[in-house]
Chain A
Amino acid sequence: MQTTILYIGRDTEITTVMNRLLNARPEWKGICVCTDDEAIEICQTHEIDLVLLGNGIDAVCEKALRAKLTGLKPELKIIQHYGGGSGLLYGEIMTAIN
């Protein structure tokens, strides 16, 4: 079964890398966006299992985003993604979904 993961980060280069990394594994489907509006729209139109909060999301935006996304889907898991690359990604996702 595929896990659908939404990544939100402000840096377009990192977002591109994350899109490649998340979609390189057959067990994951990655959707990567840079804005909160895009993220909310994706959560309204897709079955998202896990949200990764990436770089550049300030505390005010993070609070609003968490409230909006969990309002749409209360059981949604939202975690911080650190590192911006492949080093920590697998461990973060495995810990979150298990």
Chain B
Amino acid sequence: MSQFILHKENTRGHANHGWLDAHHSFSFANYYNPERMHFGVLRVLNDDSIDGGMGFGAHPHDNMEIITIPLAGAIAHKDSMGNSATIKNGEIQVMSAGTGVSHSEFNANADEQLNLLQIWLFPNKKNVTPRYDQQTLDVAARHNNFQQILSPNADDAGVWIHQDAWFSLGKFDAGFETEYKIKKAGNGVYAFIINGEVTINGQVLSKRDGLGIWDTDSISFKANTADAEVLLMDVPMELN
């Protein structure tokens, strides 16, 4: 029998720092909710809006798989591995922090708001060599389809990470129905609704709601509105 946990949009942690308006699906920084610590190895899901030209100065990370998906605007990224890049909507960035890396992230545009999802997963191996990658995604390929954008395999579609996790993005027409099969036994799926309204396993979900489902091998999906856009995060439920 499948189990689920529902995180409605308005129950997320919220911090407005002026230049940064952040919503946290799980405990992060000063937002602490013991009931919202993680979903399996998914530890952080931040929905950040950053004013033009503003951002996070150089700061370190270690032992975390950090995935950034810009929803609007562009990020200027620099890190201690020598990478200097701009990541815009339609692209994905991944960083394995491993033994330690320092980076900065700024809104690349002075006159445009940046909205991004930043997702942290616990790695399946500690102290790996830090690495960075970014990819441009074929946005058309996610029309009425869950397009794989991340996996554990370097030769598979999307970016890869040190974890048995698969991420998929889809954009759907109203009324479109499908089933998503979980990639690995023991994994669960956390669905985050980027836009529109959908029904997953009988739960009606609106923009920025999150639904975690586990103890099942598939989920049913239906788009209720024409602008439905969903991120599925298929992750191990057991911490390594």
Contacts and interface: CB of A to CB of B under 8 A. Distances in A.
Interface residues of B, number: 24
Contact of B61 (A57, A58, A85, A94): A85
A98 B37 CA distance: 14
Given A55-B99, A58-B127, A82-B122, A91 B64 contact: no
A56 B100 contact: yes
A13 B102 contact: yes
Contacts, number: 74
A21 to B, nearest CB: 10
B231 interface: no
A55 B128 CA distance: 10
Interface string A1-27: 000000001110110010000000000
Contact of B63 (A58, A82, A91, A95): A82
A85 B32 contact: no
A83 B120 contact: yes
Given A14-B60, A54-B62, A84 B28 contact: no
A83 B182 CA distance: 27
A90 B100 contact: no
B30 interface: yes
Nearest to B63: A82
A11 B60 contact: yes
Q: Which 3 A-B pairs have the closest CB atoms?
A: A55-B62, A84-B62, A11-B100
